[in-house]
Amino acid sequence: MQFSARKIAYDVSIMKLWLKIVLAIVCGVITGLILGPKASYLKPIGTLFLNLLHMVIVPLIFASMTCAIANTTNRKQLGRVGITTCVLYAITTLLAIGFGFVFSSWLELGKDLHFTTTVAMQAKEIPPFSDLLLSIVPKNPIQSFADGNILQIIIFAIFLGVCINLVREKAAPLLHVIEALSQVMFRMTSLIMSLSPFGVFALMAWAVGSFGAHVLLPVFEFLISYYAASLIFCAVVYCGILFFLARLSPLPFFAGMTEAIGTAVSTCSSAASLAANIQCATSKLGISKNLASFVLPLGCSLNMNGSALFQVMGALFIAQAYGIELHMQQLIVLATSVILATLGTASIPGGGIIMLSIVFASVGIPLEGIAILASIDRLRDMATTTLNITGDTVCAILVAKQEGELDEALYYGQKELSIEQSLITEQHS
């Protein structure tokens, strides 16, 4: 018996994280069904896990965004290509938000749940647009850090990254410090995510015990709806960009992105998929090494179509579950919050669920709803990361086509780069 227990403990310890999370979900559901309302005693464990995630948001966003901008080496492309890329990223993000609104409203996700909350939360009063615009720029960055004002921190990180990039050598010591901070925060986030099975177990047990098992079916209906929205968005927007704007067939694109998509599904991290994405973009899709190395890393911080789609659908799903009616002004604030939150979403597993609290707070949606969405986060993140990285590469292909840096013969598979040619290309870049 003792040997068997040790063997089970060993088998669990060597499981992959996503398997542990699935096991935690199952155990949480069973525990919630058994304990019923008494499962609320487990909620502090889940709350502690959520607090740990919130703890890393500010330093992680600041360090990762600053480094991404400061390490951009090709100054000639920072102007023309940089503006074109950012415009494309903005357009696809807005389209993703629009898709989220349409799908959630059409399917009326969450309306059958009828949740109630013990915490009184109200949507923030909508300020005038001029005040909203002025409030984005921080008067005191230190105060922004203390208050946890993500939007102001993002603006400060952008300005700091640009200035470090311009100063270069004299700012190298500062950049080294920020890069070290970025690595430390990524490691801390990884450590916290290793505790996610315990947090997910507690949150799932509390959710099922408090709301009942009937909560699970609508959640998985939401997951299926999100997958359907992701596929349609990819077919309409991404294939439309390739076919109508870049004048290319979409089929070779998806064939060339196979390895990158596989990495995205397995890691659920845009950052972890970046190397595979650049490799596919240059060796399979014909994008020049210089352009891919500039546009794709920028997309890891600025272009999160999958995250935007999920945050809109998730927010409306929970709002409708609690019977919260969002008017036009609240929807505008929600869309703005999603745009700015996706700019700050770290390219790591669970990054979207972390930033969802900011989106919820912007329109007064109870944060308790995050526990419901956390139960399917890993499965959801597979589609989110795939949509994120494919969106980056689609935009990179369009920019490369406009700049004359796309090898169409390589894109259509009419030739292949040999190992020697790949090494020469990399050395020249």
- Tell me which DSSP letter residue 288 carries: -
Residues contacting 259, CB < 8 A, separation 6+: 276, 279, 280, 284
Q: 287 by DSSP, 3-state: which?
A: strand
Dihedral of the alpha carbons of 245, 249, 255, 259, in degrees to the nearest 10? -10
Dihedral of the alpha carbons of 239, 242, 248, 249, in degrees to the nearest 10? -10
**Structural domain contains residue 423:** yes
Pick the range with the lowest mean pLDDT from 8-12, 181-185, 204-208, 279-283: 8-12
Quick one: CA dihedral 420, 423, 425, 428, positive or negative? negative
What does the pLDDT read at residue 151?
Answer: 66
- Per the CB < 8 A criterion, the answer to whether 425 and 289 are in contact is yes
**Structural domain contains residue 344:** yes
**Structural domain contains residue 13:** no
Q: Is the pLDDT of residue 212 over 70?
A: no
d(CA 45, CA 141): 32
DSSP code per residue over 302-369: H--HHHHHHHHHHHHHHHHHTTPPP-HHHHHHHHHHHHHHHHH--SSTTHHHHHHHHHHHHHT--TTH
What does the pLDDT read at residue 18?
Answer: 62
Tell me the average pLDDT across 287-297: 78
- Per the CB < 8 A criterion, the answer to whether 124 and 362 are in contact is yes
Tell me the average pLDDT across 367-385: 80
Task: State the residue range of the domain holding 31.
Answer: 24-428
CATH of the domain at 76: 1.10.3860.10
Residues contacting 85, CB < 8 A, separation 6+: 295, 298, 299, 395, 396, 399
Tell me the average pLDDT across 263-269: 71
80-109 per-position pLDDT tens digit = 877 898 899 999 999 999 999 998 888 888
Q: 112 by DSSP, 3-state: which?
A: coil
**Structural domain contains residue 88:** yes
Provide the number of structural domains found in the chain: 1
d(CA 360, CA 366): 7
User: HSE (CB half, 13 Å, CA atoms) of 43?
Assistant: 16
**Structural domain contains residue 152:** yes
140-172 per-position pLDDT tens digit = 989 988 877 766 787 888 889 889 988 888 999
d(CA 88, CA 246): 13
Task: Report the phi/psi class of residue 417: left, alpha or beta, with left for phi > 0 and alpha for psi in -120 to 50.
Answer: beta
Report the share of the chain in percent with pLDDT over 90: 22
Does the pTM surpass 0.85? The reply is: no
Mean pLDDT value across the chain: 79
**Structural domain contains residue 315:** yes
d(CA 97, CA 350): 19
Tell me the average pLDDT across 361-389: 81
Q: Which two tokens stand for residue 45?
A: 């464990």
- Per the CB < 8 A criterion, the answer to whether 92 and 395 are in contact is yes
**Structural domain contains residue 357:** yes
**Structural domain contains residue 31:** yes
**Inter-axis angle of helices 377-403 and 351-363, nearest 10:** 100
The Cβ of residue 30 has, within 10 Å, a number of other Cβ atoms equal to 13
Amino acid (one-letter) located at 159: F
What does the pLDDT read at residue 92?
Answer: 94
The residues that bridge with 406 in the sheet, in sequence order, are: 287
